[in-house]
C-alpha cells in the first residue's frame, strides 16, 4: 500500500509576530515529513514579495517549498521574472492558479485562465517544475456547468499539470463522485483532497459562500449552535475533520493537503486522530 503523504499550505505573514508564529508552526508540522509546504499568492501579485520571502525561508530550512502563482492581472514579463527567481533558488514545484478576478477590474493581464499560465510555464521552463493546479469537487462558482469545469481540469492536465489539489469540501461523496467523473473524462493525475479545519463558523460560512464549497445543513446547524463558544466549536470541528480524513484514508486516498491558516495544533490533532501517519 502507498505511504500517506501530506502537504501544508500557509499564507505569507505580514508582521514580525506572524513570521515568528509561522516558523514555529512549520517546525511543529515538519515532524510529519511533508512532501512540501506551499505558500499562497495574493490576487494581482499583492503578496509577491512576502510570498517569495516565505518560500525562500522554507527552502533555506531544507524543506521543499511550493509557491502558489496566480496569473490574473499579471504580465508575461512579471511571470518570467518570478519563474527565474524560483529556478535560481532551486524551487521545483508550483501551485498554478488563475486567482480571483478583482471586482471592477477590466483587464485580466496577459492570461485569462489558469490553463494559459500552465502553458506559458511549460513553454518557458520545460519540465523544470512539478505543476499543481486547482480542482473543485463541488465545482467552481463561475463554471458554466459541472461538465465544463471537469473539461477545464482536463485541459489544465493535458497542457502540463502533474497533479491537482481540491478546494475544501465537507461532503466526502462529492469528492468521490468528482474523482470518478475525472477518471471517466480521462484525467489520470493525482487529485489531492484539500482539507480545511474548522476554526471559526462566521469566517468559514462567508468564505464557503464565495468559493462554492457547501457546508451541509447538519454541519451548519451544529456549528451555528455554538455561537461565540469557539473552544467547543473547534473541538467539534476537529472531530468532524478527523472523521472526514479517516473516511478518505480508509477509501485508499494516499495524499492530503491541509489549509493550515498558519496554525499547527488543530491539524496535528486531525492527523493523529485520523491515523494518517499510522503504519498500514
Residues annotated as catalytic (active site), given as ranges: 9
Q: In this complex, which beta carbon is closest to ligand FAD, that of residue 165 or of residue 179?
A: 165
Candidates 213, 222, 207, 208; CA nearest to 193 is: 213
Candidates 200, 198, 163, 195; CA nearest to 259 is: 195
Q: In this complex, which beta carbon is closest to ligand FAD, that of residue 13 or of residue 233?
A: 13
How far apart (Å, rounded) are the C-alpha atoms in residues 45 and 2? 37
Q: In this complex, which beta carbon is closest to ligand FAD, that of residue 181 or of residue 226?
A: 181
How far apart (Å, rounded) are the C-alpha atoms in residues 130 and 80? 17
Burial of 210 (0-12, 13-18, 19+ CB in 10 A): exposed
Task: Point out which residues bind ligand FAD (CB under 6 A).
Answer: 40-41, 43, 68, 70, 95, 97-100, 113-114, 134, 140, 142-143, 148-149, 152, 165, 167, 194
Dihedral angle over CA of 248, 132, 117, 148, nearest 10:
-20
Residues contacting residue 159 through CB under 8 Å, at least 6 positions apart: 115, 118, 119, 122
Q: In this complex, which beta carbon is closest to ligand FAD, that of residue 227 or of residue 254?
A: 254
Report in angstroms how near the CB of residue 167 gets to ligand FAD at its nearest. Answer: 4
Report in angstroms how near the CB of residue 175 gets to ligand FAD at its nearest. Answer: 13
Q: In this complex, which beta carbon is closest to ligand FAD, that of residue 141 or of residue 275?
A: 141
Amino acid at each position: 500500500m502507498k505511504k500517506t503523504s501530506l502537504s501544508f499550505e500557509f499564507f505569507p505573514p505580514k508582521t514580525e509576530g506572524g513570521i515568528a508564529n509561522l516558523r514555529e508552526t512549520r517546525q511543529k508540522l515538519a515532524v510529519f515529513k511533508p512532501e512540501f509546504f506551499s505558500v499562497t499568492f495574493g490576487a494581482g501579485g499583492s503578496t509577491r514579495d512576502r510570498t517569495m520571502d516565505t518560500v525562500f525561508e522554507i527552502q533555506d530550512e531544507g524543506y521543499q517549498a511550493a509557491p502558489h502563482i496566480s496569473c490574473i492581472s499579471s504580465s508575461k514579463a512579471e511571470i518570467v521574472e518570478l519563474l527565474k527567481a524560483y529556478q535560481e533558488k532551486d524551487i521545483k514545484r508550483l501551485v498554478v492558479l488563475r486567482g480571483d478576478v478583482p471586482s471592477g477590474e477590466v483587464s485580466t493581464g496577459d492570461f485569462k485562465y489558469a490553463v494559459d499560465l500552465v502553458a506559458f510555464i511549460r513553454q518557458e521552463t520545460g519540465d523544470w517544475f512539478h505543476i499543481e493546479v486547482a480542482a473543485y469537487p463541488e465545482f467552481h462558482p463561475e463554471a458554466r456547468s459541472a461538465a465544463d469545469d471537469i473539461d477545464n481540469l482536463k485541459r489544465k492536465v493535458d497542457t502540463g499539470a502533474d497533479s491537482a489539489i481540491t478546494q475544501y469540501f465537507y461532503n466526502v461523496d462529492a469528492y468521490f463522485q468528482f474523482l470518478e467523473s475525472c477518471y471517466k473524462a480521462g484525467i489520470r493525475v493525482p487529485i489531492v483532497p484539500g482539507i480545511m479545519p474548522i476554526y471559526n463558523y462566521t469566517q468559514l460560512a462567508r468564505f464557503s459562500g464565495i468559493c462554492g464549497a457547501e457546508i451541509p445543513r447538519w454541519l451548519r446547524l451544529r456549528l451555528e449552535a455554538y455561537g461565540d463558544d469557539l473552544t467547543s466549536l473547534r473541538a467539534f470541528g476537529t472531530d468532524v475533520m478527523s472523521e472526514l480524513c479517516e473516511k478518505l484514508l480508509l477509501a485508499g486516498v494516499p495524499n492530503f493537503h491541509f489549509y493550515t491558516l498558519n496554525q499547527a495544533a488543530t491539524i496535528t490533532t486531525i492527523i493523529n486522530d485520523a491515523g494518517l501517519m499510522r503504519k498500514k
